Structure 1
Amino acid sequence: MTMTHPATTPSTPSTDAGADAHGERADLLQTLAHHREFLRLTTRDLTDEQAGRRTTVSELCLGGLIKHVASVERSWVDFILEGPEVMGDWNNMTEEDLARRADEFRMLPGETLTGVLENYAEVARRTEEVVGMLPDLSVSRPLPPAPWYKPGTQWSMRRVLLHIIAETAQHAGHADIIRESLDGARSMG
């Protein structure tokens, strides 16, 4: 049986960034939460089958986009906590690595929209917790090896958080197009 899911399953955790509850840290986390909600909103009232359906020429589906954004956010928070080694060397990805990455963009057999949304909410809670405990957003780390990063490039924790926000906002826009193609519903505009 395919179930219909509400848009807000589950909701974004509230921002509590300690001493910076009304400063830059809170602004960044609130902006991220705002774009997460736009992304989640594209799945309102959909069945699992609809969340996994491709509606454009791309390989993207709504459930897969949320899986991908959650995975990217989780990876960058791991980077914040553990450094570039945790992300691996993108220059040496195998076919198996690429296939696993491609699976992030689709709903696989047995996956449900509820499960995807619950995982995304857990990732969001962890991100807020980690960002809330960072002593300084200006601390930098070298980026992992990848063909799209100039060797030796470093990002501050602030820049990492801005990257997560940009990734979420970009894919929320993709999701809005996919949803409109699916059934005419729009979450933005």
Structure 2
Amino acid sequence: MAHLSEELPGDERGTLLLFVESQRKAIRGSLAGLAEEQAASRPSASDLSLSGLVKHVAEVELAWLRMAQQRPNEIQRSPETWNESFRLVGAETVPAVQAFWDGVTAELTAFVRDLPSLDETFPLPPAPWFPENGKVSMRWMLLHLVEEFARHAGHADVIRESLDGTKAMG
């Protein structure tokens, strides 16, 4: 994937996309040099694995993109399949999940670049954690992705350090 910093302007839209990308890189970097088994392991007190985190954030990004586009999400999780978003299942592999995420990232970036304004809004789906008939702006969505990815980048740091002592910051 090309470096977004070389392609994006330094305006608000470009800056928000760069912050989203920075957190994506932190999560992706946690997998560097690991075998599939290591990436799927759960060495900390949490049930989270690095490969599961990558799959989860890719699916979260897709879900927000589809909401913003007001299109159906092709990966719609039910209460019965929700946990599958946190682990690789069947023949899924880390490279396949990362390739999927690359596609979502490219689609989200193109979508945001083409928006007339970050002030445009879209409706939130009915859910107990969203306000009834709630709407959010595209700007809010990008900031939410920064928040979501940063939270999981922190999880990834702890998992990787628990796994083999590798630290993201030194």
**Normalized against structure 1, the TM-score is what?**
0.81
4+ residue stretches of structure 1 with deviation over 3 A? none
Quote the offset at 1:132 in angstroms.
Answer: 0.5
Give the RMSD, CA atoms, in angstroms.
1.9
Quote the offset at 1:143 in angstroms.
Answer: 1.1
Sequence identity percentage: 38
Cα distance per residue 1:8-37 (max 9 Å; x no partner): xxx4552545xxx22000000111111111
Conserved 8 A contact 2:70-2:122: no
Aligned to 1:136: 117
Quote the offset at 1:165 in angstroms.
Answer: 1.4
Q: Could you list the runs of 5+ residues in structure 1 that have no partner in the other structure? A: 1-10, 88-92
Larger CA deviation: 111-120 vs 45-54: 111-120
Aligned to 1:82: 70
1:38 aligns with 2:19: no
Conserved 8 A contact 1:12-1:37: no
What is the rounded CA distance, in whole Å, between the counterparts of 2:167 and 2:88 in structure 1?
21
Task: Please tell me the residue identity of whatever aligns with 1:163.
Answer: H
Aligned to 2:60: 72
Conserved 8 A contact 1:59-1:106: no
Provide the aligned length of Structure 1 versus Structure 2: 167
Conserved 8 A contact 2:51-2:87: yes
1:52 aligns with 2:44: no
What is the rounded CA distance, in whole Å, between the counterparts of 1:70 and 1:188 in structure 2?
23
Q: Could you list the runs of 5+ residues in structure 2 that have no partner in the other structure? A: none
